[in-house]
Chain A
Amino acid sequence: MTDQIRKNMYIMYNNEPNFITEAEFYSPGKGSAFTRVKLKNLNSGRVVPFTFKSGEKVEELEVNFQNMQYVYADDNNVFFMDKSTYEQYELKRSLAEQYLPFMKEGEEYTIIMYMDTLISIKFPPQVTLEIIETSDAVKGNTSTGAMKDAILETGHKMQVPLFIGVGEKVKIDPETSAYQGRATE
């Protein structure tokens, strides 16, 4: 149990594992202090606002991290394999939905486990992926900010600047799905 509630913490809340995606100290003009959080329920994937009283104790979950290979995803689950045991694990699709557009089958990812259950992916803050389809690159002006459609090697469609061509790699922030620049290798 801890009263040090902070962002990116795994807690047991309402008998379910939850991840704190945002946390902020808050004090109403005429009241006690609170910690306002956004909780991601790791069973349903739903994110809801909540408020803890200042000093309130929560049960912090001890989570484990393990590298696993992404095998495939269906409508309900995402399947991973532990390459050392060849054992297959599943993660509820709702808990990985935001990362799926940027995941490549066969790649390894860091999986977060609580007890023996997969609860999330510790996704890198930036991913580099290849463009497999887009209209021809427009050379020259790189500052206009104009964008065009492109398809990533994962099959995900996104917006990239006009000067990006097929076969180039781009950097993406998986949290916001935003283009962050051309990857130079």
Chain B
Amino acid sequence: MSQTFQPFWKRFQQDKSAREAYLLKIQILRHIRDFFTQRGFLEFEAPILQPALIPESYLDVFATEERRVGLEGKESRPLYLLTSPESFSKKMLVAGFGSNFALTKSFRNGEALSGKHMSEFSLLEWYEKSKNYEDVMRTTEELFRYIAQKVHPEAPDFLVYQGKKINIAEPWKRISINNLFKEFVSVDLEETWDIETRAFSVKLLAEKIKHLPITVEEHTTWEELFHQLLLTYIEPYLPQDVPVIVYDYPHELSPLAKPKRGETVKELIWAERFEVMIAGLEICNTFTENTDADLQVKTFEAEIASIEAKGKKSYEFDYDFIEALRQGIPECSGNALGIDRMVMLFGDIKDITVFDFTR
């Protein structure tokens, strides 16, 4: 990644590929709008300034201060840049609006210094009322095919990214997290579930991976081992010639998702969540949304405890979101999709920072 500062307007003057990347992004934004509007989705305009955010222990936020002046005097309060439109869109569903989408800038602090992350990025979130995550898998496939038809109609069945040819026309490959762990690391994660504590156990998982060169220390968490295994032994070996839908994540890593229906509901082991990986890029994160206010209180508490344990900067928590759930949110499923990464794929762009105007 280049750290030399060059004003973006000069970059656009000199670099044809940077100009093309920007034009492609504008074009794709329009096609996304068309796709959802044609399907009867309502477009939301999510507010950027938020008085409170849903606690998510792995996110760092941008905080600012609002100052207002009146005859009565001055007042000020903290406000935060939205990390995603999720809370807003779900409250609007509670308010009685139907299936919807929002194209919005979102902001996350403390992101990795890499060619795949930006502090300010373009996010698409859509919510499908009365649908579950399997329905959204199909919508996601259709959205990619629709955009491919529009931006390269001469070859709509394929994406070519960094020398990899990806077939998006056939149904995408679907595989659950636990099947990936069984296949690539010979570990059944359900066997690392501790029925006493009703949580995943780092001790049980550590025992199963003794043969691997993975260090387990006293402070190592189950989540760390889970991701270390996923990143080391699974992700690099996923198919590169088709998009891969990885589904059913651990519920404790998916606090806003609905626990998976079926035999494991009572234990909260899995959540109805999927991510799509295309040519090694993580493109989106989707849940069947949790509608249970009591469960959401518990995950709020767990996330807040985790924020405190990590010594992270705290912020106002969005308890109003729980109030909204308590009043009753319709069954729905939502997808958060990184538009910049989608444009990278369609434009065969290696580095996301072509869309970063601050560097």
Size of the chain B interface, CB-CB below 8 angstroms: 25
- Tell which of A30, A32, A36, A50 touches B224, judged by Cβ atoms closer than 8 Å: A32
Nearest chain A CB to B95 CB, angstrom units: 27
List the B residue with the shortest CB-CB distance to A31: B227
| Band of interface residues on A | 20 to 34
- CB-CB under 8 A from B227, the residues of chain A are 28, 31-32, 34, 51
- CB-CB under 8 A from B285, the residues of chain A are 29-30
Contacts A14-B213, A30-B253, A32-B58: A51 and B228 contacting too (C-beta < 8 A)? yes
- CB-CB under 8 A from A98, the residues of chain B are none
- CB-CB under 8 A from B113, the residues of chain A are 25
Q: Which of B225-274 contact A (CB under 8 A)?
A: 226-228, 230-232, 236, 249, 253-254
Summarize B's interface: helix, strand, loop or mixed: mixed
Q: How far is the CA of A49 from the CA of B230 in the complex (A)?
A: 12
Q: How far is the CA of A28 from the CA of B275 in the complex (A)?
A: 11
Nearest chain A CB to B150 CB, angstrom units: 28
- Tell which of A25, A34, A51 touches B114, judged by Cβ atoms closer than 8 Å: A25
- CB-CB under 8 A from A46, the residues of chain B are none
Quick check: is A27 within 8 A (CB to CB) of the other chain? yes
Contacts A14-B213, A36-B231: A31 and B223 contacting too (C-beta < 8 A)? yes
Nearest chain B CB to A35 CB, angstrom units: 10
Q: How far is the CA of A34 from the CA of B111 in the complex (A)?
A: 12
Quick check: is B221 within 8 A (CB to CB) of the other chain? yes
Quick check: is A26 within 8 A (CB to CB) of the other chain? yes
Q: How far is the CA of A33 from the CA of B275 in the complex (A)?
A: 18
- CB-CB under 8 A from B195, the residues of chain A are none
Quick check: is B358 within 8 A (CB to CB) of the other chain? no
- Tell which of B114, B232, B254, B282 touches A50, judged by Cβ atoms closer than 8 Å: B232
- Tell which of A13, A25, A27, A53 touches B228, judged by Cβ atoms closer than 8 Å: A53
Nearest chain B CB to A105 CB, angstrom units: 36
Nearest chain B CB to A23 CB, angstrom units: 11
Quick check: is B155 within 8 A (CB to CB) of the other chain? no
- CB-CB under 8 A from B114, the residues of chain A are 24-26
Q: How far is the CA of A13 from the CA of B228 in the complex (A)?
A: 15
Question: In the complex the two chains form, is A31's CB within 8 Å of B58's CB?
Answer: yes
Quick check: is B215 within 8 A (CB to CB) of the other chain? yes
Q: How far is the CA of A51 from the CA of B213 in the complex (A)?
A: 11
Q: How far is the CA of A34 from the CA of B226 in the complex (A)?
A: 12
Question: In the complex the two chains form, is B236's CB within 8 Å of A49's CB?
Answer: yes
- CB-CB under 8 A from A56, the residues of chain B are 215
Q: How far is the CA of A24 from the CA of B236 in the complex (A)?
A: 14
- CB-CB under 8 A from B223, the residues of chain A are 31-32
Most chain B beta carbons < 10 A, residue from A30, A52, A56: A30
Q: How far is the CA of A46 from the CA of B298 in the complex (A)?
A: 46
Contacts A32-B227, A34-B227: A26 and B58 contacting too (C-beta < 8 A)? no
Question: In the complex the two chains form, is B228's CB within 8 Å of A29's CB?
Answer: no
- CB-CB under 8 A from B112, the residues of chain A are 24-27, 33
- CB-CB under 8 A from A24, the residues of chain B are 112, 114
When each residue 279-323 of chain B gets 1 if its CB lies under 8 Å from chain A and 0 otherwise, what string results? 000100100000000000000000000000000000000000000
List the A residue with the shortest CB-CB distance to B310: A32
- CB-CB under 8 A from A28, the residues of chain B are 227, 230-231, 282
Contacts A27-B111, A31-B253, A32-B58: A53 and B224 contacting too (C-beta < 8 A)? yes
Question: In the complex the two chains form, is B58's CB within 8 Å of A29's CB?
Answer: yes
Nearest chain B CB to A27 CB, angstrom units: 5
List the B residue with the shortest CB-CB distance to A28: B227
List the A residue with the shortest CB-CB distance to B212: A14
When each residue 42-57 of chain A gets 1 if its CB lies under 8 Å from chain B and 0 otherwise, what string results? 0000000111110010
Question: In the complex the two chains form, is A30's CB within 8 Å of B58's CB?
Answer: yes
- CB-CB under 8 A from B254, the residues of chain A are 30
20 examples of A-B residue contacts, CB within 8 angstroms = A24-B112, A25-B113, A26-B231, A27-B58, A28-B227, A28-B230, A30-B254, A31-B58, A31-B227, A32-B58, A32-B223, A32-B227, A34-B228, A34-B231, A51-B228, A53-B215, A53-B220, A53-B224, A53-B228, A56-B215
Top 3 nearest A-B pairs by Cβ distance? A14-B213, A51-B231, A51-B232
Given contacts A34-B231, A51-B227, 12 further A-B contacts (CB under 8 A): A24-B112, A26-B114, A28-B227, A28-B231, A29-B58, A29-B275, A30-B58, A30-B249, A34-B227, A34-B228, A49-B232, A51-B232
